[in-house]
Structure 1
Amino acid sequence: MCERISVLVVDDQPLFASGISMIIDAQDDMECVDTASDGRDALSKAANLAPDIVMMDLRMPGLNGIDATREMLGRGTADDRPRVIALTTLRRDEVVVRAFEAGASAFLTKDATTEQVLASIRTVHAGDAIPDIAATLTLIAGVAAATSTPRQRAIEALSPREREVFLLVARGLSNTEIATAAYVSDATVKTHVGAILRKLNLRSRLQVVVFAHANDLVVL
């Protein structure tokens, strides 16, 4: 049996956090290791429990979810950091894009179905695609449109092949879709994505999408 996906649920509404934790614990391939009620509590428990996934409410008293995400993902090495799913009440919310900029890997609205919650956890844990990509791209494009200016120099550190993969990631393609488009293996795509994140100092493929839009580099 495969090791279960460990999840930390962070929300200042105990009933909501408890409901999500019960959904998670009912699955054979995942477990809720704990819940936290604010950003500081989340940072402490993430450091002690080292969860694979943190489901992070963005609007909380004290340390909010955006700042907690930024601090959490600034610690340790890439292999040690959890992946963050931002929780929000609004689907079209500029605050969610700020969470992406802080390193969140996906977002969920609080009215998401059980199936959407579980699919997002599994997809983010696998790390080879972005959940709900159509809504995510629409959200990012809408926020970035008013501020972006073309800056090709932003990716000059990448090799030609890495730039090709960068642009495909920016369009929201999964690793398998990129492998097909670029005529390479999934493993090669994973290697290129890792190099892109490292060279551009980014923490998730969603940050690649935000970065591309902010620099007006998206090719549709």
Structure 2
Amino acid sequence: MVERAAIRVVIVDDQPLFAAGMAMLIDAQADMECVGTATSGDDALTLVQQVQPHVVLMDLRMPGLNGFEATELIVAAEEPPKVIVLTTIKRDEAVYLALRAGATALLTKDALPAEVLGTIRQAVAEERIAGAADTVQVVQQFARGAQTRTPDETLAALTAREREVFLLIARGLSNAEIAEATVLTEATVKSHVRQVLAKLHLKSRVQVVAFAYENRLMGDAA
């Protein structure tokens, strides 16, 4: 049996002791390895280019280039790693900005080891929004925008089925949950998710949530 490659993780945090502890946790897993740490957003950009990680754990508040700015630049690459925001407070506009910029998930710095590891694995699997409830709540709180177009105009690029999948993604549902709700196979759902992201020029499921709330597409939930 062919073994799957380990998940390559970069840790970006201006507190070396915290970064070292996270690196030890990751290196203790059979399916993960820490391939580098950085203490600033600027160093993170260089390191990501050098080591090509699958996941970046990104602190937000750092001197120089901050975590939000670094996230925006990292996810702009053609095949970017997944960025998971590290934060001390979930209900923070900086967290929302990082999610909107393309971060895949968020973690508080007091998260339990199992939650950290689970979030990393879920981010790579791309089958759900890790910590969906918290992520949707952050977006609901800070998303701003005006409904300048009708939903039909906003989602004109999508087919009827893709619009249905779009709204279920925006609610935070996983591929399995969407498959159950739509009576489709998970493989078909994955195909629709890819099409939704491509047609709307979005990079992550979290950006779908932000797009939906900013364009007032969630009805009473908006």
Q: What is the TM-score of this pair, normalised by structure 2?
A: 0.94
- Number of equivalenced pairs: 216
Structure 2: segments with no counterpart, 5+ residues: none
Superposed CA RMSD: 1.3
**Match in the other structure for 2:209:** 209
Structure 1 contact 150–216 (Cα < 8 Å) conserved: no
What residue is the counterpart of 1:62 in the other structure? 64
Q: Tell me the equivalent position of 2:107.
A: 108
Residue number in structure 1 paired with 2:47: 45
Tell me the TM-score normalized by structure 1. 0.94
**2:171 equivalent to 1:171:** yes
| Counterparts of 1:4 and 1:63, CA distance in 2 | 29
- Provide the secondary structure at the position in 2 that maps to 1:129: coil
CA–CA separation in structure 1 for the residues paired with 2:148 and 2:111: 35
Distance in 2, Cα, partners of 1:154 & 1:143: 20
Alpha-carbon separation, structure 1, partners of 2:154 and 2:61: 31
Matched position secondary structure for 2:103: coil
Measure the CA separation in 2 of the matches of 1:159 and 1:39: 39
> Shift of residue 48 of structure 1?
1.1
After TM superposition, give the deviation of residue 149 of structure 1 in Å.
3.0
| Structure 1: tracts of 5 or more residues without a match | none
C-alpha distance in 1, partners of 2:148/2:113?
40
Structure 2 residue aligned with 1:27, among 29, 32, 39?
29
Taking the aligned partners of 1:58 and 1:198, their CA distance within structure 2 comes to 27
Correspondence for 2:147: 149
Q: Name the aligned partner's letter for residue 52 of structure 1.
A: H
- Give every structure 1 segment of 4 or more consecutive aligned residues whose post-TM-superposition deviation is greater than 6 Å: none
Q: Which amino acid aligns with 1:126?
A: A
The separation in 1 between residues aligned to 2:67 and 2:183, in whole angstroms, is 39
Q: Aligned partners of 1:5, 1:75: CA distance in 2, in Å? A: 19
1:167-218 deviation digits (Å, cap 9, x = unpaired):
0000000001101111111111111111111111111000000110111112
Percent identity between matched residues is: 51
Q: What is the CA–CA distance in structure 1 between the aligned matches of 2:132 and 2:77, rounded to whole Å?
A: 27
SS of equivalent to 1:23: helix
Partner Cα distance (1:202, 1:42) in 2: 23
Distance in 2 (alpha carbons) for counterparts of 1:215 and 1:147: 6
Deviation at 1:156, TM superposition (A): 1.2
- The aligned residue for residue 92 of structure 1 is 91
Shift of 1:150: 6.6
